[in-house]
Structures are given as structure tokens and as C-alpha cells.
Amino acid sequence: MAKGMRVKLVYEVSQDPDTGVEVTRLTPPEVTCHRNYFYQKCFTQDGSKLLFAGEFDGNWNYYLLDIAAAEAVQLTEGTGDNTFGGFLSPDDKSLYYVKNERTLLEVNLETLVEREVYRVPADWVGYGTWVANSDCTKLVGIEISKDDWVPLNDWKIFHDFFHKGPNCRLLRVDLQTGESAVIHQEKNWLGHPIYRPFDDNTVAFCHEGPHDLVDARMWMVNEDGSNVRKVKEHAEGESCTHEFWVPNGSSLMYVSYLKGQQGRTIYSYNPDNGENTEVMQMPACSHLMSNFDGSLLVGDGSGTPVDVKDTSGYTIDNDPYLYAFDVVKKAYFRVARHDTSWATFANSRQVTHPHPSFTPDDSAILFSSDKDGKPALYIAKMPANPELISA
């Protein structure tokens, strides 16, 4: 198959056995398919089309699904697509993604013509998820020295890579000209660069690695490289993870958990005054994402985290549910079972992760799961009258 080829999908609609909500599997369980990273734009503004990754021709490539027509058009071809980091532009005219850890490409969604925006220098490797500003005029990304780089295909390599102290740099790239500039560089594994929405001067990034070993997970830096600062000083036995900007830019939210405890805590960081505020308690979810104003959150129940060194100290029961959190009421409810395995699959640590997020109208939740076979995409409707559980 090649760019422009169309795939007709047959949806499977069912009722969740525990909550009764309607759950639709969009992609076939015999073909590996997954969604992009949870804070990257995947729906068109009107919610009618969905960007996803599929292995219909032996390669993991990007597709755009017309949801009503149940038909997907292939957007990219060949090997090497970073199928987690790609995103749609705000005007729904382009896909941006990185290929072969080397080239940042823009795909015109109407013509499927590709334009090389930026090429990673030969002695560096493009790593992880690259994120645009709100206007989609530039993005921030991470490059790792080629001398330090190894493919991070499993969790043992993930742990070992942290101790290497790789030479990393955080950069910004102009999406029109391809001009780049280094914002911050250090001999420390850097990841998750994210522009603050509607504030290009503020960039968040993380010190990556086992959560119980990093000095402090979350950091901020001004776009000009000045004022590097910690978001939070970790308490004894505390790990923090999966930070994201509320889409309206009001705060950075993240998950905190303590050694020996089952539950976790949702926190909010105000970059204007530097205050961290406890939002509410929650079950043992891994990823967390909000709607536009942060009034509603969704998380994926998980088990013992694999991205810590002391797994015995952080052992928790596996939780198979998607949860929604009402921030105002400080209460949560089960939406549906995701029942994913969380296993490393096809040399990917991420492909079986649910990575849930809301549809543009907040009426449903998109997630990935391998519960029916290979990883596939699902949409679970929000319950009409949920049974609230006080946090």
C-alpha cells in the first residue's frame, strides 16, 4: 500500500460489561493500530476525522479516518515513522511527524505532498514527542547525541539509558523556515518538551528515567534558554509522571505517587506564581489528560509501574478501568474497562498503553488497547448518569 490508499474499516460496537456504556472498536484486532501521544492533536476541529497509526502494509504509518464513513486514507509510507509524536495542525490542513529520527516532515492532508521542514544534524538523533505552540508556527523537540543513542525498545534499556547520562538538547524549530535554535542542553536524559499553550515564552520539559531515581521530573525554561527552574521538589519516596499542559494554558497538571501506597494524587502547577496545588486523590492511573479548561480529566488505571527502579516498593494492584475526574466536585467515576496488557509489543514500550483523551466535544474517550488481540483504537462514550465516587 502507498500514500492515498484507502482502507475500509468495520467497527465493532459493544456495551461495557461493568458500566454499560457504548464502546466502539474502530480498527481490526489482527492489525496493529494505535493512537498518537495523548496530548498531541489527533481529531479535526469538528471531531469528524481522526489521525491514527496502522500497520496495514507491514509498516507503522499514519492514516486519517473519516469516522462517519468508516474509511481511512493512508498519509505516509515506508519505514521509520514516529507514530506517537505526530499531530494535526490547528487548521486541519497538515500532519507533522518525524521520520527515521532524522527528518521533520509536513504532509498536506489534501494533496499528501510532503515537505521537509527540518533535518536533524548527522551527529544527533531526534527523540520522542515534538510539540508545537498554539499557533503551530514552531515546535520544541529533543535531540540526543548520536554517540550516546540506543533504541529504547524495552524497559531494561530504558533503565540503563538513564545511568548513561546522555548528552541531550532541547531545541525549537520554525515550521516555515526550518531554522532551529538550542534552548537548553545538558548531560542528562531530557524528554517531554511542551510549549505552554498561548505562551510561547514558557517551555516545560522533564528529566527522563526511572521516576524514583530522577532528581526532579518536571522543569520549566524560558524560550530564550533563561530561568531554568524546577516545577516541584520531590518529597521522600515521591515520584511524579505524565505531566501535561491544560489546553487553555492555565496550569501544568501531573500525577504524583508515593512508595508503598496504592493511590495517586493529581497536582496542578501554576507557572505564574510557582505554586503546586493538590487537586484531588485518584486511583492508580498512569496517564492523565484534561478537556480544554481542565474541569474534566481522564486517566487509565494501571498496575505496578515499570518505569521505576524499586518495583517492589511501588507494587500496586492492576486496575483495568478508564476513569473520569470531575475537578469541581472532586469526585470520579468509571467510564469503561480498557483491559490492556501494558506489555512491550513489537519493540515498542508504548503501543499497548491506553493514552486516553477526550473527543473534541467531551462526549467520549479515545484510547488504545490490546484486549482483543493486537493493539487497536477504541472510543468509549461518557456515561449519562455516572456513579460518582468521592476522592
Q: Is the pLDDT of residue 155 over 70?
A: no
Per-residue confidence (pLDDT) for residue 152, from 0 to 100: 62
Highest mean pLDDT among 101-110, 295-304, 309-318: 101-110
Which is more confident, 365 or 350?
365
Cα 298 from Cα 103, distance rounded (Å):
33
Please state the domain extents for the chain. 1-83+342-375
Grid cell, residue 283, equals 486511583
Nearest-angstrom CA–CA distance, 331 and 298: 12
CA dihedral over 85, 88, 381, 374, signed as positive or negative: negative
The answer, yes or no, to whether residue 326 has pLDDT greater than 70, is: yes
Give mean pLDDT, residues 160-183.
Answer: 91
CA distance 144 to 128: 10
pLDDT band at 305 (very low <50, low <70, confident <90, very high): very low
Residue 104 scores a pLDDT above 90: yes
Average pLDDT over residues 47-57: 97
Helix, coil or strand: residue 359: coil
- DSSP for 298-320? EEEE--S-SSSS-TGGG------
Beta-ladder partners of 168: 144, 186
At 111-137, the pLDDT tens digits run 999 999 999 999 999 999 999 999 999
Task: Return the pLDDT at 1.
Answer: 60
Q: Is residue 108 predicted with pLDDT exceeding 80? A: yes
* Sheet arrangement for strand 12-15: 12-15, 22-25, 376-381, 364-369, 357-358
Percent above pLDDT 90 for the chain: 78
Question: Nearest-CA neighbor of 101 among 87, 112, 85?
Answer: 85
Can you tell me the mean pLDDT for 154-174? 81
Q: What distance in Å separates the CA atoms of residue 218 and residue 202, rounded to the nearest whole number?
A: 13
Q: Which phi and psi (to 5°) does residue 346 adopt?
A: 50, 45
154 pLDDT band, cuts 50/70/90, is low
Average pLDDT, the chain: 92
Q: Is the pLDDT of residue 92 over 70?
A: yes
The percent of the chain in helix, strand and coil, each rounded to the nearest 5, is 5, 45, 50
For the CA atoms of the chain, what is the radius of gyration? 20
Q: State residue 303's pLDDT score.
A: 59
Q: What's the average model confidence in pLDDT over 74-85?
A: 97
Encode pLDDT of 176-228 as tens digits.
Answer: 999 999 999 999 989 999 999 999 999 999 998 775 677 799 999 999 999 99
Cα–Cα distance for residue pair 303/324, rounded to 1 Å? 18
pLDDT at site 316: 42
What confidence score (pLDDT) does residue 210 get? 72
